[in-house]
Amino acid sequence: MATRKEFLIKSSLAVGAGVLGLSSSAQGGNQASTTAPFRAGGGRLPLAIATWNNLGATNGAWQVFLKGGTALDAVEAGVRVPEADPENQSVGFGGLPDRDGHVTLDACIMDKDGRAGSVCFLENIMHPISVARRVMEKTPHVMMSGEGAFKFAIDNGFKKENLLTEKSKKAWEEWKKESRYAPIVNFENHDTIGMLALDKDNNIAGACTTSGLAYKMHGRVGDSPIIGAGMFCDNEVGGACATGVGELVMKTLGSFLIVELMRQGRTPQMACEEAIHRIVKKQDYQKSQVGFLAVNKNGDIGSYSLQKGFTYTLYANNENKVFDSDYFSKR
* Residues known to be catalytic: 192
> Strands 143-145 and 116-122: what pairing?
parallel
Provide the 3-class DSSP secondary structure of residue 328: coil
Provide the 3-class DSSP secondary structure of residue 18: coil
Q: Kindly provide the residue ranges of all beta strands, DSSP E only, lying in 95-202, ordered along the sequence.
A: 105-110, 116-122, 143-145, 193-198
Give residues with Cβ within 8 angstroms of 15, minimum separation 6. 21, 22, 23, 308, 309, 324, 325, 326, 327
Residue 285 and residue 248 in contact, taking contact as beta carbons nearer than 8 Å = yes
Q: Which of 95, 103, 100, 54 is nearest to 75 (CA)?
A: 54
One-letter amino acid of 153: A
